[in-house]
Structure 1
């Protein structure tokens, strides 16, 4: 980073010295886990314990901008998927990627925009110490939790190489000291979804405790598919008229062994299986030329009959196996995911003041999918694209933490990762439309090996002032081996190996003059390693590699409690500059095959302010009012050579890098445009109220509201009517629960997104009208016969209404 950028960060830190950090105490207060029928009366937010720096610290005192959410809050509002979290965390936006891509997570506008399942997220997921970066991993782990911690901004020092945007850390529930059984069943009316959970926990000896938790769900689907196939075109009618028709289960086992006060071992093992027909809930949002104009040589438009609006109705035909010989799953679009993972954590007190922690992680992912790529509404799809994605990882971390009485303490550790992923893609042509039966068939295998050392020294200059200085050194190697199954030969590429070596330092000052006030500021640096685009098999001689993503900047703030602890008001300020930000794009099809690319943005920056407040009126027992606000300004200060969108003309910005063979331009300059999924304003606000109703029963009412200003869903210029933006929206949640004595049972009615807003955070522009293949002219004076590319989106559903029963029988 240039010197003036560091000066800006320092000036911002100084200016924000009296600001308050957006810690999210509005959601964290329940995590004190007070027992009894009225926990709100005994919660002490000063005792909320978090592990943002890989050791237990008070939320009020930890110098990290973060939001902590308890399992109680998650249960009240039926937050059972990662993409529900933005309802509680301002600054967090999550898009739905198609099929094996999974979740696309952004914090403060920094996140993953790639349409490629092989790319690590810029916001990483951490489950019980296991760091995961692939988007499908975000679909697991969201049940039977103790707490969620959302750490905002770069987190390289304690969470490694893949967290330049932040970390979502899940801590699952541990075994209890006494026997506990929880049975829960729920029904959601809009999607006809049924869920069931069973949790059994308790001691099985003097030193050993266990917990077994399982969850099962089955749904008919929220959206309606009203497609009617045209016979003889390679299409068939949908088998199911509700989507996504799905079923899934998760099982987690935990063993906690504590043979002495100086040693304990915690083993967590997880099995997650998800299956859905029509999993790719993609809808046309904008059709510049309408839907009925045919594109030669096909006499009917591929998107005829669609209304090109985001709503509950879509049109997507299935593949006719007669036109796609050998197509998997009999031509029915689907997604099947199997995940197996776990951690073994060993803690040993080498001395009364030094603890050694070992965390061993294993992760295995298998995914298989088929999709109607461009959402043909009646004609058969031009292409059938099936993919199989496999990923295996082994990780090992060793960490020393000191807790000396002296002013100087430290954390030191080492990390090792060994893994690989394999992304296989088969692209079949529709024989009924005269296309080749197989366009492409192959896979890209990437091996990963990472070594890392990290450490932090913490010095109490005076009892109330701490200076913490640390760094992480990372060395990573990636090797790719693409293979073409049609030619039965390896694919020669321009770059087959990447080697990255990086230092990520961090400096933090924190001042805690009282138990109710913490002032801090920090400067940080982080990175995410480069890799290889593997969404499609590379062409011979192509360079499908991309470089590292790096960030530098700073943040500052104050955490405080006022009015005897009844009011907490927090504000934070931050400034970060990114170089080489990894940005994804889909190029117009090459010989019928869509080309997926990842490019490095020259520069991007983000700055903003976060505020939250929590108030418990002393005169109204059981009432908590909450509110949080995030202003964020995120822009690509330099971003060029990005592939043009389908049909983009020169006048609409496709004016770079002409193709010498066609004479048409291929790229656009997007410098100055907003970051993807980066609304300028986001807010959450609501209340919790619990009151007794007699016979030792209580009613709990919880409300939460999420507001977002408009934001970009795919990076582009020249789009008609700004259809690459999601409009501003407000979503409201409300739950009402009746709890029995000692919370032995509960009946709850939960309404989410009661404003019924169907939104999208991940879209793209492609030649849907011409079936991706026909009539596309990009980078010329005028668009081709298919006109400007249609905007299509992976949508996020509207309203849900849950009826839920919970039983906790006593022993």
Structure 2
């Protein structure tokens, strides 16, 4: 580790430069325009073919390669920080993330729920929540497509798509070294890129990035905590239980203490002008010192404002209170570190092959992808540690996916053109989890199970086949009608059981040999969907595009691999399975490029209805995770602008303002939030089930107003040098972080400020930059869970609300970056 740090420091001392990547003629021409004060043209693939962002009838926020580098946009979270109506919450367990766009998202509590915002990398789907663990670098562009995108991107894009494109080898040899240091987390980062043309038709690009943290973004404050266990068999036979007192040491004082390595190799073969073949192989390793390092008790249930378990004061800051698993217990606990330290370790591999063959009037495209990831963690799963109340767990999950997409696009001179294609995907998820709580142990059990209260094992095998097509009809020179549909057939075969339960919880949790025969749950799900789309585009003159669209989308139903098979539930199959989510609605927009390519103004209006919106919650009376479905509607208006005056070369002003209203339209039997009383609208049914009517209530993480404004400027500084800076702010109005109308989960309005300054060679041979993010050090949450073992009395007048644990953002960070091009 110290050797790696010395290498990074040596690279820092060596110098830096912004990479000058090869671009096609259209982009080069756009850059020439920008250099004389006009707007830069950005090419996007929102319809799976290259088009200008201003000529595609889709609401899309495009981030250019230049902006990606200047603002260090290298993760899904950083993309969200640059996109006002996109939110990303990092979760420690479950799916690992909550991605929300225009108020539509998927809760993080179930690993089996697909995200409503699809993530696509180099044309292949990577939509699992754990994609948040991936680091992205050496990017050519980022596109955020808003609203349903089923026709071109398939299932699981009911809210939108984040599409990332990585760089290919260019025609020229280039070597780039980059080093950085971030002060708050004490993070050292190094990056090396080598692009080499091996011949006139074959090129290779190597890219690698590594980082280590000596500190972290969050501060953990805790003390030694005791955890007393009793032998259940001795206790049940009248003994004392032979109490054993263990000590849980405080978790790492600075989190996440991240270590990361990413590598990618790209081969590009162009034997003719008509044929292009690209092969990419990538590897990602990421490990942090606490899986729930950003869980903050920001609003406590007690009037005193202190935690119901740990006794610390709740607050909107970057402080946690968590302890490691006791070391003597961790020594034999499955997937725990011997010393009991908390962690999250993520590893992924991917290979992606793309072929494009231009036959003149027809272009054939193929994308073949295989990706797999393994995620392991040990968490303190009550997110705050007190004496003898700890809940610790470990998990090991693996995801594998193979996909093949083939499409053909015509380019006839006539008024009618076609796009047809097909997709095949095969997936597999393997899952196992081990939990300790309630001070239980069994001295007669195996060493691995001695301190386990309950364990789970599950898998889901999935298979998807899709056919899609679109007809484009140019009615007149300025008017185009496009209509298409995607058919999706999907199967999921799943298995779930709890192979070991301590005797003390066998009255609550079923195991695989349970006498009622419900201890093993199997599901064979079949889903079929038709998702049509129609778009009318009018181009009255150059620089103006007006469009209207009717769109639909489909998100997979599925199986909650991390759920609970509770003896209080008479139908575990219904608890663990859930229906698909569907969207339909309208969108209209106008895109304009005005004032001699100096001003860009875009306006979008939308309204979408969602049926069977997937809402996951923990039903505490029956100890079961359940995925309910609700109906919802989101509607709004978005305005964005960009101004690059020719009179002030190098100046760029940009911003947006967005209004979104996202509400439940039919959720009359929604679960109550923890501690909700009858006076607050909660009704206790049958003495067990607590329900409320959420019709008209806001969705989770759905601010009504969001916006952004930024200024960028770059100018020559004499003697072959140049100087540049950027200042960007992002605003959000207040919102509920809870999907169950919990007023105590409210996140207040906030604004963040990013800024950067850079100095280097005019020919981009080297550069030194300082990049600051969230300079106001504003804390906010992008998702929430009720604190386990807090709150109670739901549905009664004596209800006590639970502590609210939010997924916190990153605090103020300041990074020095040095880049050198050879």
- Structure 1 partner of 2:351: 342
Pair 1:284 & 2:312 matched: no
TM (norm. structure 1) is 0.89
Pair 1:510 & 2:515 matched: no
Name stretches of at least 5 consecutive residues in structure 2 with no aligned partner.
1-22, 229-245, 444-449, 501-510
Residues 1:208 and 1:529: Cα distance change in structure 2 (over 3 Å): same
Aligned match for 1:679, one of 703, 710, 718: 703
Pair 1:791 & 2:812 matched: no
Per mean C-alpha deviation after superposition, the further-off stretch among 271-280 and 233-242 is 233-242
> Is this contact kept in 1: 2:383–2:787, CA < 8 A?
no
1:43 Cα offset (Å): 7.7
> Is this contact kept in 2: 1:570–1:613, CA < 8 A?
yes
CA distance in 1, matches of 2:25, 2:526: 42
- Structure 2 partner of 1:778: 794
Residues 1:43 and 1:274: Cα distance change in structure 2 (over 3 Å): farther
- Structure 2 partner of 1:230: 225
Aligned match for 1:735, one of 747, 756, 761: 756
CA distance in 2, matches of 1:377, 1:30: 56
Cα deviation, 1:474-526, whole Å, max 9, x if unaligned, reads 01111111133225559656771211111000000101122211111110111
Residues 1:138 and 1:226: Cα distance change in structure 2 (over 3 Å): closer
CA distance in 2, matches of 1:726, 1:687: 27
> Is this contact kept in 2: 1:30–1:73, CA < 8 A?
no
Residues 1:49 and 1:36: Cα distance change in structure 2 (over 3 Å): closer
1:134 Cα offset (Å): 0.7
> Is this contact kept in 2: 1:37–1:743, CA < 8 A?
no
Per mean C-alpha deviation after superposition, the further-off stretch among 133-142 and 388-397 is 133-142
- Structure 1 partner of 2:48: 54
Pair 1:578 & 2:585 matched: no
CA distance in 1, matches of 2:61, 2:552: 21
Aligned match for 1:642, one of 670, 678, 699: 670
Aligned match for 2:645, one of 613, 617, 638: 617
Residues 1:78 and 1:155: Cα distance change in structure 2 (over 3 Å): same
- Structure 2 partner of 1:527: 554
Pair 1:312 & 2:318 matched: yes
1:695 Cα offset (Å): 0.8
CA distance in 2, matches of 1:120, 1:521: 28
Aligned match for 2:216, one of 202, 217, 221: 221
> Is this contact kept in 1: 2:30–2:41, CA < 8 A?
no
CA distance in 1, matches of 2:481, 2:163: 25
CA distance in 2, matches of 1:141, 1:42: 34
- Structure 2 partner of 1:303: 310
Per mean C-alpha deviation after superposition, the further-off stretch among 227-236 and 448-457 is 227-236
Cα deviation, 1:3-29, whole Å, max 9, x if unaligned, reads xxxxxxxxxxxxxxxxxxxxxxxxxx9
Pair 1:93 & 2:87 matched: yes
- Structure 1 partner of 2:819: 806
> Is this contact kept in 2: 1:218–1:247, CA < 8 A?
yes
> Is this contact kept in 2: 1:682–1:707, CA < 8 A?
yes
> Is this contact kept in 2: 1:46–1:59, CA < 8 A?
no
- Structure 2 partner of 1:389: 397
- Structure 1 partner of 2:504: none
CA distance in 2, matches of 1:379, 1:136: 32
- Structure 2 partner of 1:596: 625
1:702 Cα offset (Å): 0.8
> Is this contact kept in 1: 2:251–2:342, CA < 8 A?
no
Pair 1:699 & 2:723 matched: yes
SS at match of 1:138: helix
> Is this contact kept in 1: 2:590–2:602, CA < 8 A?
yes
Pair 1:123 & 2:147 matched: no
SS at match of 1:448: strand
CA distance in 2, matches of 1:799, 1:30: 38
Cα deviation, 1:722-771, whole Å, max 9, x if unaligned, reads 3211110010111000011411110001111111101111112234448x
- Structure 1 partner of 2:232: none
CA distance in 1, matches of 2:171, 2:36: 21
1:711 Cα offset (Å): 1.3
Q: How many residues are matched?
A: 754
Aligned match for 1:250, one of 236, 247, 262: 262
Cα deviation, 1:520-553, whole Å, max 9, x if unaligned, reads 1110111112111222343474121111111110
1:262 Cα offset (Å): 2.1
Name stretches of at least 5 consecutive residues in structure 1 with no aligned partner.
1-28, 295-300, 771-775
1:36 Cα offset (Å): 13
Cα deviation, 1:18-68, whole Å, max 9, x if unaligned, reads xxxxxxxxxxx9997659999841586574321111111122111111011
Cα deviation, 1:113-149, whole Å, max 9, x if unaligned, reads 2411221100100000111221111332521000001
CA distance in 2, matches of 1:609, 1:417: 35
Per mean C-alpha deviation after superposition, the further-off stretch among 491-500 and 313-322 is 491-500
Per mean C-alpha deviation after superposition, the further-off stretch among 111-120 and 168-177 is 111-120
SS at match of 1:731: strand
Residues 1:286 and 1:302: Cα distance change in structure 2 (over 3 Å): same
- Structure 2 partner of 1:562: 594
- Structure 2 partner of 1:500: 527
Aligned match for 2:659, one of 627, 631, 636: 631
1:232 Cα offset (Å): 5.5
> Is this contact kept in 1: 2:181–2:188, CA < 8 A?
yes
SS at match of 1:84: helix
CA distance in 1, matches of 2:78, 2:259: 19
- Structure 2 partner of 1:551: 583
SS at match of 1:564: coil
- Give 1:101-250 correspondences, 5 Å limit: 101-219=95-213, 220-231=215-226, 233=228, 234-238=246-250, 240-250=252-262
Pair 1:367 & 2:362 matched: no
CA distance in 1, matches of 2:350, 2:589: 37
Cα deviation, 1:606-646, whole Å, max 9, x if unaligned, reads 11100011112232111111111111011011124333333
- Structure 2 partner of 1:458: 472
> Is this contact kept in 1: 2:187–2:211, CA < 8 A?
yes
- Structure 2 partner of 1:467: 481
SS at match of 1:651: helix
Per mean C-alpha deviation after superposition, the further-off stretch among 183-192 and 317-326 is 317-326
**What do you get for the CA RMSD once the two structures are aligned?**
2.5
